[in-house]
Each structure stands twice: as C-alpha cells, then as structure tokens.
Amino acid sequence: MAIEIKTVPQYQVAFIHQKGSYTQIPEVLGKVVGWLMTQDVEIQMPIYGTYYNSPHEVSEEELDWEVGAAFIGELEDGEGDIQIKVVPEHQVVSTVF
C-alpha cells in the first residue's frame, strides 16, 4: 500500500455549524447546497462533514458538527446560518487500499 503526502491548495467552503442530532444532517446539508446552487459558483465534490465530538461521549443534543461544500468562485458572505470560510493550503496523508 503506497502512502503519499499531498499538498491541498487553499479553497473556500460554505458551511453550517450545528449542535444536536445527526438526523438533521440531510436537511442542513441540503440548505447549504441549495443556497450554493443559487450563487454564481461551481460546487466541488465531495461535500463534507466535520464532527467535533462523539455520540459515545456526549448526549445527542450536545453533538457538535458542521457540514458544507467547497466551491469555485468568490463569495464573501453567507446567508442566515450559512457561513463562508477559507481553508488554507495544507498537507494530507493519502492512501488507497
């Protein structure tokens, strides 16, 4: 199995940071992607989820997570609870098995 270190260039994402049950993910992600579809940008796949704690460690209402999508184009502000951030260039470890 080959393991590589790759550099991921800087990119922008639209996202919603949320607390509560993971059952909200489809609705929240749909809100982000739906909003991006109304903007003059190109959505990049894959969409993502980041989970800051675990259902094995905290109650369902304390789950802390965000979902979003990268895009090509320029947006400075989101709308409502949709936020925009720049993810700086970074290195990742990559493998296929």
What are the strands, taking DSSP E only, across the chain? 3-8, 11-19, 42-51, 64-72, 83-87, 90-95
Residue 10 DSSP class: P
Say which CATH number the domain at 45 has: 3.20.80.10
For residue 25, the surrounding DSSP H or E stretch is: helix 25-37
Question: Burial letters for 34-57: b for 16+ Cβ neighbours within 10 Å, e otherwise?
Answer: ebbeeeebebeeebeeeeeeeeee
User: How many independent structural domains does the chain possess?
Assistant: 1
Contact by Cβ (8 Å): 16, 34: no
Q: What angle do CA 47, 39, 77 make, to 5 degrees?
A: 85
- pLDDT tens for 1-53 read 899 999 999 999 999 999 999 999 999 999 999 999 999 999 998 899 999 99
What domain range includes position 83? 3-95
The pTM for the full model equals: 0.88
- pLDDT tens for 65-92 read 999 999 999 998 999 999 999 999 999 9
